[in-house]
Amino acid sequence: QVQLVESGGGLVEAGGSLRLSCAASGNIFYGNTMGWYRQAPGKQREFVATITTGGSTSYADSLKGRFTISRDNTRNRVHLQMSSLKPEDTAVYFCTERQGGQEFWGQGTQVTVSS
C-alpha cells in the first residue's frame, strides 16, 4: 500500500500562483510514476500531469506552459507549480502514484481561484 497526502491548496486570485505538494509513504517501488489529476465541481476528473522516476513529464495540452510538475525521489514527493491561475482552474487536485500495475490516490486538496 501507498499513502499519499497532498498539501498547498487554498484560495488565490486570478493570475496568482500556487505550489501543491504530495508526500508518498509506504511500499513505494523505484520506477513509479507520480502525477496530478483534478476534478472541478460537476465535472469528471481530468488529467493534469505526470512524472516518472527518471524525470520524464507529460502534461494536459491545455495546461502546458502554466503548470510544472517536479519530484524529489529522495523524499518521495511530487510537486505541482501552478502559475497564471484562472477561475477555471478551480478544482480538487488529486495526487496519484502508479507502480506494479496498481494506482493509488490521495484525498485531494482544494484549489479555488477567484476572479
Each residue's pLDDT tens digit, 30-51 = 889 999 999 999 999 999 999 9
DSSP letters along 36-61, please?
A: EEEE-TTS--EEEEEEETT--EEE-G
Per-chain mean pLDDT for the chain: 96
